[in-house]
A and B are shown apart, each in its own frame.
Chain A
Amino acid sequence: MTGTTFAPGEPADATLVEAARRGDLYAWERLVRRHQEAVHRVSWLVVRDSDLAEAATLSTFVRAYRALPSYEQELGMLPWLIRIAAGESRQQRRESGRPTRSSRPVERDQGPHFPATALPGLAQAVGLSLLERQAVSEAFDRLGEEDRLVIATRYLFGLSRSDAANALSMASGLVEDNLSSALVRLRARMAAG
């Protein structure tokens, strides 16, 4: 799991959500800071554009705040935010008229940013050559956004099958099928080069 870790003793998501529902905006701000990296990563996987991903991250948390009254705790905050982020990202892309993919992220040296936290998946890339890394990265990049998202929910965020289903707005039984299909397509694109 990545992007949602917090220190022992920090209030749980559910506690902060209840406080935010009672009007404690500070609680919502803490939830934003807790999950903004995960939401930003989801947004970027969908739009593949730095400006759009940042805009989608912002609008995700604004929309989620407005939707708090209808949020069901058993959904889990992260799956719920991923679902909203995917929708907001698609919306941003449509409104921008930009292509699905663009160049690598723009490195900014100004403005408020936090350094990215570690990605456990990188450790599993140890032993791969540079060419292999490029091959898998390029193949992943050429997948459709649904394929990228189903892989991310399971292997980046470590969601359970039911949480992934909630995040992707699909029946729980479809998650594994879609995941398998996505990985088949990933291998096919790697082989095709």
Chain B
Amino acid sequence: MAVESRPGSLSGMPDDRLGAVAVALTVSELKLTPDVAPLVMDRIHRDAVAYPEQFDRRSIAPSPPPPEPPPSGRSAQRIIGRLAVIGVILAIIVALVVFAASASATAADDLEGLRVDFVEITSGYDRPVLVTAAGDDSGTLYVVEQPGRIWPMTLDGLRAETPLLDLSDDVSASGERGLLGLAFHPAFAENGRFFVDYTRAGDGATVVSEFVAIDGNADRAGERELLVIEQPFANHNGGGLDFDAAGKLLVGTGDGGSGGDPLGSGQDSTSLLGKLLRLDVDADQQPYGIPADNGFAGGGARPEIHAIGLRNPWRFSVDPVGGHIYIGDVGQDRFEEVSVLPEGAGGQSFGWNEVEGPACFNDGCDLTAHTPPALSYGRDEGCTVIGGHVYRGTAQPALEGVYIFGDYCTGTIWGALVDELVAGSAVRVPIGTIDGRLVSFGADEAGELYAVEQGGRILHVVTEAS
């Protein structure tokens, strides 16, 4: 269409303004930007496998399971806004440091000189994300590969010829997506039941399903879906599963992704995102029952929710002694944290996205309304916490009662005394460094701990010979 010339109209507009308007109007038709990062990293990883001579060993490691996008423009503004309260935050940090220093004597004494080493028992797995055991006295470990397979393996690293389960045709596995979690029913030896958490191909939804193993193999067609949770973004899929001391299935869910929890899922009592869920998989109700002692069974949130306010609880574990739950929750811009949920003490908020670590994320938050982390650390020491386990084996007495966890980016491994964690006075002590990308810890039936390295290795955690 022709446009008549008039003052202030297009024809009288200066060149630079006309150019800016023209391109902005055209580009503004794009309302969404695809997040290609997971696909890019997946493609690069495939290249590394196909053309290994072009990549050194470090660069073969694919994208991390819980990586974070850079802050969006919105969160950048938020950061600038928060500069105004930085003095208050610094004061809190100083207070915490002073508090920690005063409490450090016990941990420092008990953990003094403790160092752990990592003995490789096998390698060659395809992006492993988890190792665990079934509690059936079989001496078997199970390695979960992000692309969708679960492999039985002997304690000395001999892999079975066929997987326990192969979901690779049905799993979206890139970036933080994939087959992420596995937990065996407490009576697995009798009933063969086990549960998985994976990202469904196609729509990217998180699915928690049950399978039954018969003679070491589960039929793909025998899937029983318990939960299907839509994911608004590609990242922060949580993925951890475990049974608690009462035999209830715990499910860790991320806040749905992007950055800063734009949908407010962490504090949304109607959303299953950003939560620790607790399901009764032995109830008569289908697909699961609600445990009567769930944190919100009496109201206040959806009844399957046991705790709220999590951002991306990539890995959590249940202490076989005492039953407390230890949650490694990946932070946004400033703090990584470990939180403790004592046995039978659901109904708590761990803060996100009102609180990140020990400090407000949203200006003017009420810190007293949320359970503070048992431990936290800043970005100067790492970028992604990998929640660990309390050592309860017998082969390495120096580790008894030590909660061992680490960081994906720096490979630092810390120890903390579990009694102090529960009491809220814990201090973390660096006890080792892993070479490679730590993504998970797991325990065998005897309580021995293993570290999973994203490049494909499974490593036994041992005390360093003095």
Is there an interface contact between A62 and B40, defined as CB atoms closer than 8 Å? yes
CB within 8 Å for A112 and B19 given contacts A23-B56, A28-B44, A117-B73: no
* Residue on B nearest A132 in the bound complex, by CB: B10
For residue B71, CB closer than 8 A to chain A, the reply is: yes
- Report the count of interface residues on B (CB-CB < 8 A): 66
In the complex, chain B residues 1-56 whose Cβ is within 8 Å of any chain A Cβ: 1-3, 8-11, 15-41, 43-44, 47, 55-56
On whether A112 and B79 interact (CB within 8 A), knowing A26-B67, A154-B19, A191-B2, the answer reads: no
Residues of A within 8 Å of B383, CB to CB, are 26
CB of A36 within 8 A of chain B?
yes
Given contacts A23-B58, A114-B258, contact A107 B10 (CB under 8 A): no
* Complex Cα gap A44–B27 (Å): 8
Cβ proximity bits A149-193 to B, threshold 8 Å, 1 near / 0 not: 001101110000000000000000000000110110011001111
Give the residue among B2, B30, B61 with the most A Cβ atoms within 10 A: B30
- Known contacts A33-B35, A62-B44; A125 and B63 CB within 8 A of each other: no
Minimal Cβ-Cβ distance residue in B for A110:
B203
Quick check: B35 and A113 within 8 Å, CB to CB?
A: yes
Of residues 107 to 123 in A, which have CB atoms within 8 Å of B's CB atoms? 107-108, 110-122
Given A10-B70, A29-B67, A190-B11: A139 and B22 interface contact (C-beta under 8 Å):
yes
* Cβ–Cβ contact B233 & A114, under 8 A: yes
- Are B1 and A151 closer than 8 Å at their CB atoms? no
> Which chain B residues lie closer than 8 Å to A111 at the CB level?
34, 203-204, 234
Question: How far apart are the CA atoms of A186 and B235 in the complex, in Å?
Answer: 41
Chain A residues with a Cβ closer than 8 Å to the other chain, count: 78
From the candidates B20, B38, B73, B79, name the one contacting A155 in the complex (CB within 8 A): B20
A146 to chain B, nearest CB (A): 14
Rounded to whole angstroms, the CA-CA distance of A107 and B3 in the bound complex is 30
A148 on the interface (CB 8 Å rule)?
A: yes
Q: Which of A5, A116, A124 contacts B76 (CB 8 A)?
A: A5
Q: Does B62 contact A (CB under 8 A)?
A: yes
**With A131-B3, A135-B1, A135-B3: A32-B36 Cβ-Cβ less than 8 Å:** yes
Kindly report which residue of chain B lies nearest to residue A135, judged by CB atoms. Answer: B3
Shortest C-beta distance, B189 to chain A (Å), equals 40
Are A57 and B34 in contact, with the CB atoms below 8 A?
Answer: yes
Shortest distance from the beta carbon of B336 to any chain A beta carbon, whole Å: 15
Judge whether B59 and A5 touch: CB under 8 Å: no
Q: Is the CB of B30 within 8 A of A44?
A: yes
Q: Is the CB of A137 within 8 A of B25?
A: yes
CB contact between A41 and one of B3, B16, B27, B257 (< 8 Å): that residue: B27
Interface hits, A125-148 → B, CB 8 Å: 125, 127-128, 131-141, 148
Per the bound structure, the CA–CA distance linking A140 and B27 in Å amounts to 11
Does chain A have a CB within 8 A of B342? no
Interface residues of chain B, those whose CB is within 8 Å of chain A, are 1-3, 8-11, 15-41, 43-44, 47, 55-56, 58-59, 61-64, 67, 69-73, 75-76, 79-80, 175, 203-204, 233-235, 257-258, 333, 383, 409
**What are 16 of the A-B contact pairs (CB < 8 Å)?**
A6-B76, A8-B80, A23-B55, A23-B59, A26-B383, A40-B36, A44-B30, A58-B36, A61-B40, A114-B258, A121-B25, A132-B3, A186-B18, A186-B19, A186-B22, A190-B11
Given A114-B72, A137-B22, A183-B18, 9 other A-B residues pairs in contact with their CB atoms under 8 A: A6-B76, A25-B44, A25-B61, A58-B40, A58-B43, A108-B32, A121-B20, A124-B21, A135-B2
